[in-house]
């Protein structure tokens, strides 16, 4: 299955934004309680985008 170049670029950009958001949450002491929830939600999404 071929994807349109624009769609692929949008998915890659969204994945990188989500990855940076999780990285930033992991360094923020005020957000540490929400980090496990975000990691549970985002990991499958990032894996799917990476495929």
Among positive and negative, which fits the CA dihedral 26, 28, 32, 36?
A: negative
Report the pLDDT value the prediction gives residue 46, as an integer from 0 to 100. 78
Distance CA 41, CA 35 (A): 10
Taking only the tens place, the pLDDT of each residue in 4-39 is 888 888 888 888 888 888 888 888 888 888 888 888
Residue 49 banded pLDDT, cuts 50, 70, 90: confident
Contact between 49 and 12 (Cβ < 8 Å): yes
Residues 6+ apart with CB under 8 A from 26: 32, 35
Does the model's pTM come out above 0.75? no
The answer to whether residue 3 scores a pLDDT higher than 70 is no
Distance CA 13, CA 37 (A): 22
The answer to whether residue 2 scores a pLDDT higher than 70 is no
């Amino acid at each position: 299955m071929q994807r349109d170049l624009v769609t692929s670029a949008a998915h890659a950009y969204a994945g990188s934004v989500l990855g940076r958001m999780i990285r930033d949450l992991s360094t923020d002491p005020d957000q540490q309680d929400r980090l496990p929830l975000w990691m549970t939600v985002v990991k499958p999404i990032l894996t799917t985008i990476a495929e």
